[in-house]
Amino acid sequence: MTDDLPPSPALLPAGLRDLLPPDADTEAAAVEALMAAFAAHGYQRVKPPLLEFEDGLLAGTGAAVSEQTFRLMDPDTHRMMGVRADITPQVARIATTRLAGAPRPLRLSYAGQCLRVRGTQLAPERQVAQAGIELIGPDSPAADAEMVLVAAEALSVLGLTRLSFDLTMPPLVERLIDEAGIEPAHRGPLARALDRKDAAAVGTHGGPIAATLKELLLSAGAADGALAALAAATLPPETRALADRLAATVAAIRARAANLKLTVDPVEFRGFRYHTGVCVTVYAPGRHEELGRGGRYLCGGTEPATGLTLFPEAVLRAAPPRAPRPRAYVPAGLDGAGVRAQGFATVAGLEPVPDATAEARRLDCTHLVTAAGLVAVGGE
């Protein structure tokens, strides 16, 4: 009978996992490379706590991840706390409180772990690493473009140079539906039809804007084609302003990175409900998982802001393999300082061993330090 056996101490809850050598070191190095790229563009790092009081954590933009937030009671204050499911709301809180008087534009960066109540079919992990940037204050195409440009440069550091940035304007469809006066009974089915890219159902529920929505739905793809369809569409003034802003953002990106692959989906509206303008999702060729996502929102409910979050685990799955740091075995009595200066990790022998080469191999070292110098060691 195995039912009475205690569970293995290595068993973890669904969606959680241990990251072992050398993968943990690879991820940490990748995150620091991303953060260094952000810092080079003037983004200053902040470090919010892992958990906060619930009423603060879930205020404003944090309400969008309320259902994904683990909650627990603080034994000290007896107030409910939440474990962050996303870092962006925390950065927004910092910007509107601790850094309310800081000069704008305010550029902040962050990296850390988040915990979510449940994963998805495509992304089952519940503990998710994030590294991102927030640009708070300006509301302009140049600010929206900066998110894409900085992310592209940061990802190139990890060897990801063939990327696709999918630009959307989530408020556009909602504004168009409002201005067209679509009946409430049709709004839900219409939203589902657009989400499924079902042109026939869009025609059924789209009323006076069915033809426009179907044309925009079919135009999704390369930025030029989608923007041409938007330019040709008959749109009410407020919706036209959103379409023009999307086009201006594409132009601002291309002015500085003409070869960057940009796609546009004019009717895509999924994402956090707090997004108020241009949004972006980052993909690598041949991969369906998102490498990052972000967009425009209101920081503290009133101040314009935009941001983009990268997901290091997904980034590393798409990036070229990174060679682990070479390891050198240093027998007892020898000094490894010079080898470390060359970029090696040194593994010091604590006691003399009869065969230093065999010991180096046993400890997964690629090299051996000898009195005469550094020697490469082969496999068994």
Both tokens of residue 76? Answer: 């000290």
| Residue range 293-348, pLDDT digits in tens | 999 999 998 999 999 999 999 999 999 998 889 999 999 999 999 999 999 999 99
Question: Strand pairing of 261-265 and 164-168?
Answer: parallel
C-alpha to C-alpha distance for 172 and 267, rounded to whole angstroms? 7
Neighbours of 162 (CB within 10 A): 11
C-alpha to C-alpha distance for 272 and 295, rounded to whole angstroms? 9
* Helix or strand (DSSP H, E) at 96: helix 88-96
Both tokens of residue 41? Answer: 């563009």
DSSP 78: -
Residue 111's region, left for phi above 0, alpha for psi from -120 to 50, else beta, is beta
What are the residue boundaries of the structural domains of the chain, listed by start? 11-159+284-324, 164-281, 327-376
SS3 call for 59 = coil
Neighbours of 349 (CB within 10 A): 18
Both tokens of residue 25? Answer: 């070191």
SS3 call for 24 = helix
pLDDT surpasses 60 at 272: no
**Closest among 176, 172, 204 to 190, alpha carbons compared:** 204
Query: Contact 348/327 with Cβ under 8 angstroms?
Result: no
- Please, which residues have CB within 8 angstroms of residue 21's CB and are 6 or more apart in sequence? none
pLDDT value, residue 379: 56
C-alpha to C-alpha distance for 66 and 86, rounded to whole angstroms? 10
C-alpha to C-alpha distance for 377 and 358, rounded to whole angstroms? 9
C-alpha to C-alpha distance for 267 and 195, rounded to whole angstroms? 9
| Residue range 66-124, pLDDT digits in tens | 999 999 999 999 999 999 999 999 999 999 999 999 999 999 999 999 999 998 877 88
**Closest among 131, 139, 149, 138 to 103, alpha carbons compared:** 138
C-alpha to C-alpha distance for 212 and 267, rounded to whole angstroms? 10
CATH class of 164-281: alpha beta
What's the one-letter identity of residue 188?
Answer: G
For domain 11-159+284-324, the question of CATH label 3.30.930.10 is answered with yes
Both tokens of residue 19? Answer: 């990251």
pLDDT surpasses 60 at 353: yes
Q: What pTM value is reported for the model?
A: 0.92
Dihedral of CA atoms 240, 246, 252, 257 in degrees, nearest 10, equals: -150
C-alpha to C-alpha distance for 60 and 76, rounded to whole angstroms? 26
For residue 222, the cross-strand partners are 263
pLDDT confidence tier of residue 1, bands split at 50, 70 and 90: very low
pLDDT confidence tier of residue 3, bands split at 50, 70 and 90: low
**Closest among 289, 285, 366 to 121, alpha carbons compared:** 289
pLDDT surpasses 60 at 254: yes
For residue 82, the cross-strand partners are 52, 71
